[in-house]
Amino acid sequence: MAQMGTDHFSFLRLLLAYLIFSFTAFFFPASFGQAATAKLQSQEVNALKEIAKKLGKKDWDFGKDPCTGEGNWRVFVDGMKSFESSVTCDCSFNNNSSCHVVSIALKAQNLTGTLPPEFSKLHYLKVLDVSRNLLTGSIPSQWATMQLVELGLMGNRLSGPFPKVLTNITTLRNLSIEGNLFSGPIPLEIGKLVKLEKLILSSNLFTGELPQALAKLTNLLDMRITDNNFSGKIPDFIGNWTQISKLLIQGCPFEGPIPSSISALTGLIDLRITDLKGRGSSFPPLSEMASLKTLVLRNCLIYGEIPHYIGDMKRLKNLDLSYNELTGAVPVSFDKLTKVDFIYLTANKLTGTIPGWVLKRIKTVDFSYNNFTWESSSSLPTECDRGSVNLVESYSSSADNISRVATCLKRNYPCSASGEKHHSLHINCGGREINIGGVKYQADTEQKGASFYYSSQNQNWAFSSTGNFMDNDVDADIYIKSNTSALSNVPVIDSELYTTARASAISLTYYGLCLLNGNYTIKLHFAEIVFTNDKSFNSLGERMFDVYIQDKRVLKDFNIEKESGGTGKRIIKTFTSMVSSHTLKIHFYWAGKGTTGIPDRGFYGPLISAISVNPNFEVPSDDGKKKKAITSIGISTAALLLLLLVAGIMWRKGYIGGKIAADKELREMDLQTGFFTLKQIKAATKNFDAANKLGEGGFGSVYKGLLADGTVIAVKQLSSKSKQGNREFINEIGMISALQHPNLVKLYGCCVEGNQMLLIYEYMENNCVSRALFARDPTCRLKLDWPTRKNICLGIARGLAYLHEESRIRIVHRDIKTSNVLLDKNFNAKISDFGLAKLNEDGNTHISTRIAGTIGYMAPEYAMRGYLTAKADVYSFGVVALEIVSGKSNTNYRPKEEFVYLLDWAYVLQERGSLLELVDPALGSEYSSEETMVMLNVALLCTNASPTLRPKMSQVVSMLEGKTEVQDLLSDPGFSAVNSKYKAIRNHFWLHPSRTQTMSINGPCTGTSGSYNESEESGHL
């Protein structure tokens, strides 16, 4: 009891001392422990004089003792929370008779010059903060002797490698060098700073992998490395930071997945990881993080379902899981997230119905760009305008044909049936309606933007905005920015376009609605009007974002100020793009790059001043139609009858009937593509000059062309010798015009005029896979390394998965082969030639059809019995994958007489356990044996003789991406059948094909393959 009483008395004494100290520090902040005669020692006064001189600090009054707080030694400015000018002393030394400087804050004062070495002469200095200034150079070597506890250098222009001198200040607990120009790797010596509790390295130019030495910093509470150029993976050793409460890893090109060791960070309150690349993963283990208030895992390649426990996080205020590949339904537990201010599940693959609680929320929820199901029995939304709930493009194709569901809720935001077609668009983003040179720019003054959909009054454009600005401590974010400095290179007549701009924190998408199909010129108007062009720290901000047009990235890490040559200067970026479904989509996305704390927290993200869209084609004119009608009336009756007579004779002879029928059928179809004139195509191909000829197939010839707007095209010309060409021509247009996917060749339009029937495609710089691998002329072959081959296979798989399972219409291609896989300039695979494709209506288990395809690629059940399912394409993909890995043609390679095809040899090598013998010798040892085995095993799984044992293409994609383990082929009973009945039947069929087999050159490729077609002719691109 005596001991307890002593302890209690000691505690009270300590408490009393603390209260006295706090009282003194509060009412006499410039110094504490100060006696009436206590003054700052002369050596430190002299050091302050040198510091003031080198920093240009002219308002310190050295006629006053710095420790008194008088003479501008301690200054705060109302309304400027980032500004601070203070020198704080401790005057408790030598029985309160002498003082020493212990803290200096010189924040947001636009100080210039370099960091003075004289700070090191203040031997008792513990806290130094010179954030938000214009300081240059690096850290003086003299600072190595300092005993700092806190050091703030945020928001300057300090440069050079990571200053190793800082690693000698082992007393540091808080270190921020955010927003500077430091570069290179983080040194191993950083491991010496074991007392660090806060380390902020964001917004620099650091590179390399995070060093293992960081694992030693086990006292970390706050770690931020956002907006750097680090490489490699997020290391497992982050699990050592078990005391951490704030972890920010945004805008760094780290490779996924998020390490499972993150589960050890159970004290996290704020976790933000964004924009990873490489391999995806399932949801990271966060179930023990009960204290989380902010959880941002955006664009982290996360797949699978959202864990139920997320809905049980009672302290959560901000949840962002957008731009992942999350599937399944929204967890039922989410209805308990009533205190969460922001929920972003944007741009995933979520299914099921939209939960009822979403429609009742008054707080921000964004479920746009998902795959939810429409059910007529439920009270699901039919309109987009729902306040702070954004549901744009949230429904799957299940809602495509439901008229009472607004088009903005449907995929790709189609034009309504009654929508009036437009051919131009001009928006003054963030500003009022203005007229410039006779062009009216429509007003865009809606103030909201965290989770918001807006449609213009005439409904010819709309926008969808996602994201709130983090860490800015304001009640309402500002999404319309006004210029803070004068515009410098903008004509007066155009200036109002650039005095305002629309901003977004994460994502902003503008839609041009009900546009006529065709090629357009798009001009995006930018000016950096938030950061200043003066000599203040406000000029140090850096804004970076990405821009997409029609889902294709056209600008990466776009920096307005850098591109335009300064702040307040305009820059107009011009693009051409095809509108093929009456909707134009312009998307701006913040990928975590750029500063987030200049001039204050919450300044970042996309900024757009104006948008203009104009057609590159002749717009139909009502006046022109009237003139034509008047002219037609003037034609004499006799001449008209004569023309009709001649036309009738030509029709009976078959000269014009087919083309007129084809043109009529195309015009009657609601095609989502453009129409070109023969004059345009002749000009583009120089009248079909032989020098522009790319190749020739069963369909006809293919030419390279250049449109007037600079777009390079491939023109596919129907051959007059093709008896069935009309049907395949119309079929190909009808199929591919409704499809939009990065791994399908894009159809720009068609031309049916005179005796010409033409298809106009995007041009593929690297021709096709067949030519790249098997060209007869070795000089035409391309050297494809392993990553390129893997990417090609993955691209084909994704394209087929889209055709079979994801597109609005389900399609079986029927002719997947290497000559029908084209390669763009980056060797991305694009599936082409839809002339033989078949539509598989929902509910049909298979299609019984006439056989058409190519020998060596057709599945046995289809080749022998006409039994067609999507699994026929899966079989063909397996063959193509084998060819890509081996560099050998399935039909032309016979290692031994008893083996008919490459596929047979693959089975033998698989049984021997030596599949890697198939690998193309041209690869040498420069390939991943693990990835190659996955690819080969998947290929063999796809070519299973039994269609029911073949995987779906979505499963193939999952296996190739490493998300699903490849099944063990040796234990698959289906494969044993290959060596007996199925193999014998298949070989008999391939050795004795029908007499109707034809040989054709496939598209722009020079290699040939046998094309088998029962009662119809194949057409090949």
Q: How far apart are alpha carbons 510 and 430 in whole angstroms?
A: 12
Q: What is the pLDDT of residue 751?
A: 85
**Placement of tokens 């599949």 in the chain:** 915
Q: How far apart are alpha carbons 840 and 846 in whole angstroms?
A: 8
| Partners of residue 519 on adjacent β-strands | 578
More confidently predicted of 217 and 664: 217
Side chain identity at 772, as an amino acid letter? A
Mean pLDDT across the stretch 653-666?
45
More confidently predicted of 38 and 107: 107
Q: What is the dihedral of CA 185, 187, 188, 189, to 10 degrees?
A: -170
Claim to verify: residue 552 and residue 490 sit in the same structural domain: yes
Mean pLDDT across the stretch 421-438?
94
DSSP-based three-state secondary structure for 256: strand
**Do residues 443 and 431 make contact, with C-beta atoms less than 8 angstroms apart?**
yes
Mean pLDDT across the stretch 93-97?
89
For the chain, percent of residues with pLDDT exceeding 70: 80
Query: 3-state DSSP: the chain helix, strand, coil percent, rounded to 5?
Result: 30, 25, 45
More confidently predicted of 636 and 257: 257
Judged against a pLDDT cut of 60, whether residue 652 lies above it is answered with: no
Give the pLDDT band (50/70/90) at residue 22. very low
Sequence-ordered list of residues with C-beta below 8 angstroms from that of 498, at least 6 positions apart, any chain = 483, 487, 490, 525, 527, 529, 570, 609, 610
Mean pLDDT across the stretch 878-896?
84
* Domain assignment of residue 410, yes or no: no
Q: How far apart are alpha carbons 94 and 96 in whole angstroms?
A: 5
Give the pLDDT band (50/70/90) at residue 645. very low
Claim to verify: residue 274 and residue 304 sit in the same structural domain: yes
- Distance from the Cα of residue 111 to its chain's centroid: 39
Judged against a pLDDT cut of 80, whether residue 666 lies above it is answered with: no
Q: How many CA atoms lie within 13 A of 6 on its CB side?
A: 3
Query: Of 597, 615, 633, which residue sits at a domain end?
Result: 615
Query: Of 308, 329, 350, which residue sits at a domain end?
Result: 329
Longest CA–CA separation in the chain, Å = 130
Q: Which burial class, exposed, middle or buried, applies to 973 when counting CB atoms under 10 A from its CB (0-12, 13-18, 19+)?
A: exposed
Q: What is the pLDDT of residue 963?
A: 79
| Partners of residue 521 on adjacent β-strands | 576, 614
| Partners of residue 594 on adjacent β-strands | 543
* Domain assignment of residue 629, yes or no: no
CATH number for the domain harbouring residue 317:
3.80.10.10
Instruction: Report in angstroms the alpha-carbon separations of 539 from 122, 131, 436, 659.
Output: 31, 14, 30, 64
* Domain assignment of residue 490, yes or no: yes
Which two tokens mark 354? 């939209």
Claim to verify: residue 528 and residue 579 sit in the same structural domain: yes
* Domain assignment of residue 409, yes or no: no
- Region for 997 from its dihedrals, namely left if φ exceeds 0, alpha if ψ lies in -120 to 50, beta otherwise: beta
Mean pLDDT across the stretch 102-116?
95
**Residue numbers belonging to the annotated binding site for ATP:** 716
**Do residues 823 and 767 make contact, with C-beta atoms less than 8 angstroms apart?**
yes
Q: How far apart are alpha carbons 609 and 520 in whole angstroms?
A: 19
Instruction: Report in angstroms the alpha-carbon separations of 461 from 407, 440, 445, 585.
Output: 13, 14, 14, 10
Query: Of 300, 329, 358, which residue sits at a domain end?
Result: 329
Q: What is the pLDDT of residue 855?
A: 80
Judged against a pLDDT cut of 70, whether residue 784 lies above it is answered with: yes
CATH number for the domain harbouring residue 454:
2.60.120.430
Average pLDDT, the chain: 83
Q: What is the pLDDT of residue 336?
A: 94
More confidently predicted of 377 and 85: 85
Judged against a pLDDT cut of 50, whether residue 871 lies above it is answered with: yes
Q: What is the DSSP string of 381-404?
A: ---S-BTTEE-TT-B-GGGTT-TT
Q: How far apart are alpha carbons 889 and 36 in whole angstroms?
A: 96
* Overall number of domains in the chain: 4
- Distance from the Cα of residue 546 to its chain's centroid: 8
| Partners of residue 304 on adjacent β-strands | 326
Judged against a pLDDT cut of 80, whether residue 442 lies above it is answered with: yes
Q: How far apart are alpha carbons 990 and 899 in whole angstroms?
A: 12
Q: What is the pLDDT of residue 897?
A: 52
Claim to verify: residue 571 and residue 663 sit in the same structural domain: no
CATH number for the domain harbouring residue 832:
1.10.510.10
Q: What is the pLDDT of residue 235?
A: 96
Q: What is the pLDDT of residue 892?
A: 74
Q: What is the pLDDT of residue 45?
A: 96
Mean pLDDT across the stretch 331-357?
94
Name the least confident of 75-89, 870-884, 887-901: 887-901
Judged against a pLDDT cut of 80, whether residue 972 lies above it is answered with: no
Give the pLDDT band (50/70/90) at residue 160. very high
Judged against a pLDDT cut of 50, whether residue 639 lies above it is answered with: no
Which two tokens mark 283? 């949801």
Instruction: Report in angstroms the alpha-carbon separations of 786 from 89, 364, 794, 808, 879.
Output: 65, 45, 12, 33, 18
| Partners of residue 589 on adjacent β-strands | 507, 546
Mean pLDDT across the stretch 147-151?
98
Claim to verify: residue 879 and residue 848 sit in the same structural domain: yes
Side chain identity at 721, as an amino acid letter? K
| Sign of the four-CA dihedral 980, 981, 983, 984 | positive
| Partners of residue 428 on adjacent β-strands | 443, 610
| Partners of residue 510 on adjacent β-strands | 463, 586
Name the least confident of 29-33, 378-382, 443-447, 759-763: 29-33
Q: How far apart are alpha carbons 758 and 500 in whole angstroms?
A: 46
- Distance from the Cα of residue 993 to its chain's centroid: 47
Over the stretch 521-558, which tens digit does the pLDDT of each residue have? 999 999 999 998 888 888 899 999 999 999 999 999 99
Q: Which burial class, exposed, middle or buried, applies to 850 when counting CB atoms under 10 A from its CB (0-12, 13-18, 19+)?
A: exposed
* 845: number of Cβ within 10 Å: 7
Which two tokens mark 449? 């933007």
Name the least confident of 22-36, 232-246, 324-338, 503-517: 22-36
CATH number for the domain harbouring residue 748:
3.30.200.20
With CA atoms as reference, report the closest residue to 511 among 351, 607, 393, 644. 393
Q: From the candidates 129, 320, 663, 815, give the one annotated as an active-site residue.
A: 815
Which letter does DSSP use for residue 53 in this model? H
Q: What is the pLDDT of residue 912?
A: 87
Judged against a pLDDT cut of 70, whether residue 474 lies above it is answered with: yes
Over the stretch 54-75, which tens digit does the pLDDT of each residue have? 999 999 999 999 998 888 999 8
Which two tokens mark 810? 């389900």
Q: Which burial class, exposed, middle or buried, applies to 603 when counting CB atoms under 10 A from its CB (0-12, 13-18, 19+)?
A: buried
- Distance from the Cα of residue 752 to its chain's centroid: 37
Does residue 815 carry a catalytic annotation? yes
Q: What is the dihedral of CA 971, 972, 973, 978, to 10 degrees?
A: -120
* Domain assignment of residue 664, yes or no: yes
For residue 877, what is the enclosing H or E element?
helix 870-886
Claim to verify: residue 837 and residue 926 sit in the same structural domain: yes
End-to-end Cα separation, the chain, in angstroms? 96
Q: What is the pLDDT of residue 729?
A: 58
Claim to verify: residue 569 and residue 678 sit in the same structural domain: no
**Placement of tokens 């043109």 in the chain:** 663
Residues in the chain: 1021
Radius of gyration for the chain, computed over Cα atoms and rounded to the nearest angstrom = 34
Mean pLDDT across the stretch 861-879?
89
**Do residues 870 and 813 make contact, with C-beta atoms less than 8 angstroms apart?**
no
* Domain assignment of residue 670, yes or no: yes
Claim to verify: residue 972 and residue 929 sit in the same structural domain: yes
Give the pLDDT band (50/70/90) at residue 390. very high
- Phi, psi dihedral angles at 790 (to 5 degrees): -65, -45
Claim to verify: residue 911 and residue 947 sit in the same structural domain: yes
The domain containing residue 246 runs over which residues? 232-329
Q: How far apart are alpha carbons 480 and 449 in whole angstroms?
A: 9
Strand bridging mode 98-107 / 84-92: antiparallel
With CA atoms as reference, report the closest residue to 491 among 554, 570, 564. 570
Judged against a pLDDT cut of 60, whether residue 18 lies above it is answered with: no
Claim to verify: residue 579 and residue 711 sit in the same structural domain: no
Instruction: Report in angstroms the alpha-carbon separations of 327 from 305, 349, 506, 810, 955.
Output: 5, 5, 21, 20, 14
Side chain identity at 487, as an amino acid letter? L
Q: How far apart are alpha carbons 332 and 352 in whole angstroms?
A: 11
* Domain assignment of residue 336, yes or no: no
H-state helical runs in 547-621: 560-564
For residue 526, what is the enclosing H or E element?
strand 518-527
Claim to verify: residue 779 and residue 725 sit in the same structural domain: no
Instruction: Report in angstroms the alpha-carbon separations of 101 from 20, 109, 123.
Output: 21, 20, 8
Give the pLDDT band (50/70/90) at residue 1001. very low
Judged against a pLDDT cut of 50, whether residue 215 lies above it is answered with: yes
Claim to verify: residue 677 and residue 551 sit in the same structural domain: no
Peptide bond between residue 257 and the one before it cis (omega within 30 degrees of 0)? yes
Peptide bond between residue 259 and the one before it cis (omega within 30 degrees of 0)? no
**Placement of tokens 């134009």 in the chain:** 584
Judged against a pLDDT cut of 80, whether residue 406 lies above it is answered with: yes
* Domain assignment of residue 282, yes or no: yes
Q: How far apart are alpha carbons 395 and 324 in whole angstroms?
A: 17
Which two tokens mark 331? 């967890």
More confidently predicted of 1013 and 785: 785
Sequence-ordered list of residues with C-beta below 8 angstroms from that of 671, at least 6 positions apart, any chain = 517, 733, 734, 737, 750
